[in-house]
Amino acid sequence: MKILVAVKRVADYNVKVRAKSDNTGPDLANVKMAINPFCEIAVEEAVRLKEKGVATEIIVVSIGPQAAQEQVRTALALGADRGILITTDTDLESLAVAKCLKAVCDNESPDIVLLGKQAIDGDNNHTGQMLGALTGWAQATFASELTIDGDSATVIREVDAGLQTIQIKLPAIVTADLRLNEPRYASLPNIMKAKKKTIDSTTPADLGVDVAPRTTLLKAEPPAERQAGIKVEDVAQLVDKLKNEAKVIS
Amino acid sequence: MSILVIAEHDNNEIKGATLNAVAAAQAIGSDVDILIAGANCSAAADAAAKIAGISKVVVADNAAYEFMLAENVAPLVAELAANYGHILVPATTNGKNVIPRVGALLDVQPISDISAVISEDTFQRPVYAGNIVATVQSSDSIKVMTVRTTAFDPVAAEGGSATIEAAGGVHDAGISEFKGEEVAKSDRPELTAADVIVSGGRGMQNGENFELLYKVADKLGAAVGASRAAVDAGFVPNEMQVGQTGKIVAPDLYIAVGISGAIQHLAGMKDSKVIVAINKDEDAPIFQVADYGLVADLFKALPELDEAL
C-alpha cells in the first residue's frame, strides 16, 4: 500500500504574524518557517502505518518555494521514503494546490492521501476536500483515528457534536485532526539518513496545472485591537463588577 | 442572481448557525434560498420556510443525504449551483467538510470563514489565527463560501413564509458510509450557542479538576470550553476546544481559567463581549485581552466564585 502525504511550509506556530505596514500582505521577513503542525501529524500517521506493515511506501510532497525542500527533508527524517517538491514562487490558492496534488496522484496512484486538516497560515481547511472532488475519491476529514481494513478504511472524525465514525472505500483522502497522534521527533541518525533520500523536483507547469489565481488580496490589516481592562483584587470584586458594571450576570 | 444557503440541520430542526449564514447572505443580496439536503427532512424544510426573508426552500430528500456525506452532497450542490451566484454555508464541521468539495467540482476557489461582506464579490476573512484580516475579491462566476457565524447576528427563525420545492437528483457515490456517532451528552448549552462560557486551560492540571469549572458553569447556565493545551494534554475531549482549530465563539461573557492566552486560543474567543481571566501568572498574555483580570490560584478562586454566585 502506497501513501502520499502532503506537507506545507508555514510560519512556525509560535510566531505571531502581523500584517505589513503597507497592508499588502503578511510580513514574513525573517520569520521562522516550519512544517504545518497538522501536516506533521499526517506524516506521523503514515509512518505508523508503515511500522504496522500496512503501508509499504510513503511519498511526501510539498508545493512552495525551493526552501520548502527543508520541510520535505523533515518529513523524510520522520520516516517518509522519498519526496516530491513542486516549486513555485507564487503563493498558490487551494484550488491550484489541489490540482497539483491531483496530477501527483495520477502519476503515483497512492491508496491513501494523508493531509493536515488545515494550514495555520491561510486557515482555509480546503485542500483535502478539493483533492477528493478532483480525484472522485472518498474523503475523511478531521480524522482522530484511522484503521485500514483491506480495501476500505474506518475513520473516526472530530465533528462539532462529538465523534463520528465513517467507512470509506480506498483510494481515499484523509485529513488529520489534532488527536490523530503525537508526532515523534526526528532522531539524529534519521536526519542523516534523510539527506540521502531522493527528492524529485517539478513545477505546476510541468504537471500541466493552470495556477492563475481566482481571488485578489486587496488588503491585509491588523484586526481591531482589544484594550486590556482592569485587574480586580479578589473574587468578590470580580462578581460585583460582572453584576453591576458589565451587567453580564444577575 | 439568487443566493443559496446550505442549512445545518438534523432532519427535524434547523441549527442556529444557519440563521447567521442567512444573515451573511442577506448582506450580499435579497433573494436568498435555503437548501435542505437530508432524509425524511420535511420537518426541517417546514422550519426553514419560516425563517425571515427566505424566498424558497429547496429540498433534496433522499437516504443518500441523511448524514451530509460530502461525496454525495457536494455533487447535489454543484448541480443546483447553476441557478445561483453565491453559495454559503455556516463554518461548522459539516460546512467545512462539504463546501471545498463543491468548489473543486465547480472549478471555483472557495473562500473560508467570511467575517464581513464588503460587496457582492469582496469579503473579509481572518487569516493567521485572526492576527490579520484579509480583504479578498473573487473573480469566480459563483462565489462559494463558509461563514464565520459569530460575525453575523442571526436572522429571525420565525416570520417568513417561503415556498418549498423539491429539487436535485440523487447523487449516491457509494464510496462512503456513516457508521455511527458518539455525541457528548450534556445538559449544558452548546459552546457555539451559549451566552456564557467558562473555559479551562493547562492550569487545570487534569480532567478531574474540570469539575470545578462545571460547578461554576452550572450556576451561570454556561457552556464549558477548553484551550488546545488542555485538549492536547487529554484533560477533555476535542469538541470542547475553543480556538483557531477548534470552535469560534463570541458569548456575552467568557471566563478563561488557567489559560495563558496563546494566539491560537485568542483566535477563537477574542470577539466575546466581556472577557474575564483568572490566572496565577500576572504576565500571562490572556490579561492583555481581558476586561477583568484576577491574578489568583484557580484552585482557590474557583470554589470562591462558586460560593459567590
Facing A228 at nearest CB: one of B110, B126, B289? B289
Report whether pLDDT(A170) > 80.
yes
Average of per-residue pLDDT values in chain A: 96
**Interacting residues of B48 by C-beta distance below 8 A, sequence separation 6+:** B7, B9, B14, B18, B34, B36, B54, B57, B162
pLDDT 10s digits, B176-207:
999 999 987 788 998 988 999 999 999 999 99
pLDDT of residue B170: 95
State the nearest Cα–Cα gap between A190 and chain B, in angstroms.
Answer: 26
- Distance, CA of A79 to CA of A100 (rounded, Å): 23
Report whether pLDDT(B248) > 80.
yes
pLDDT of residue A227: 85
Q: How far is CA B162 from the centre of its chain?
A: 25
State the nearest Cα–Cα gap between B124 and chain A, in angstroms.
Answer: 9
Tell whether A65 lies on the interface with B, counting CB pairs under 8 A.
Answer: no
Tell me the percentage of chain B whose pLDDT exceeds 70: 100
Tell me the percentage of chain A whose pLDDT exceeds 90: 95
Overall average pLDDT of the B220-239 stretch: 94
pLDDT of residue B186: 80
Q: A22, A175, A244, A249: best mutation site toward chain B, by most B Cβ within 10 Å?
A: A249
Average of per-residue pLDDT values in chain B: 96
Instruction: Give the cell for residue B58.
Output: 429547496
pLDDT 10s digits, A176-208:
998 999 999 999 999 999 999 999 999 999 999
pLDDT 10s digits, B249-299:
999 999 999 999 999 999 999 999 999 999 999 999 999 999 999 999 999
State the nearest Cα–Cα gap between B200 and chain A, in angstroms.
Answer: 17
**Under an 8 A CB cutoff, do B137 and A132 touch?**
no
Q: Smallest Cα–Cα separation from B120: which of B28, B205, B31, B34?
A: B28
State the nearest Cα–Cα gap between B16 and chain A, in angstroms.
Answer: 13
Tell whether B291 lies on the interface with A, counting CB pairs under 8 A.
Answer: yes
pLDDT of residue A184: 96
State the greatest distance between any 2 C-alpha atoms of chain A, in Å, as a whole number.
68
What is the interface pTM, i.e. ipTM, of the complex? 0.95
pLDDT 10s digits, A42-101:
999 999 999 999 999 999 999 999 999 999 999 999 999 999 999 999 999 999 999 999
Overall average pLDDT of the B14-19 stretch: 96
- The phi and psi torsions of B11 (rounded to 5 degrees) equal 80, -20
**Under an 8 A CB cutoff, do A232 and B97 touch?**
no
Report whether pLDDT(A240) > 80.
yes
Torsion of CA B90, B93, B94, B99, to 10 degrees: 70
CA distances, A214 to each of A41, A87, B84, B110, B199 (Å):
30, 20, 18, 9, 39
pLDDT of residue B193: 86
Q: Which residue has the cell 496530477?
A: A103
pLDDT of residue B187: 85
pLDDT of residue A226: 85
Is residue A224 classed as helix, strand or coil in its secondary structure? Answer: coil
Which residue in chain B is spatially nearest to A102 when comparing CA positions?
Answer: B104
Q: A38, A135, A214: best mutation site toward chain B, by most B Cβ within 10 Å?
A: A214
Q: Smallest Cα–Cα separation from A125: which of B246, B133, B140, B150?
A: B246
Is residue A143 classed as helix, strand or coil in its secondary structure? Answer: strand
Q: What are the residues facing A143 on neighbouring strands?
A: A157, A176
Tell whether B179 lies on the interface with A, counting CB pairs under 8 A.
Answer: yes
pLDDT of residue B112: 98
pLDDT of residue A250: 82
Q: How confident is the model at residue A161 (pLDDT cuts 50, 70, 90)?
A: confident
- Which of A206-220, B20-34, B175-189 has the lowest average pLDDT? B175-189
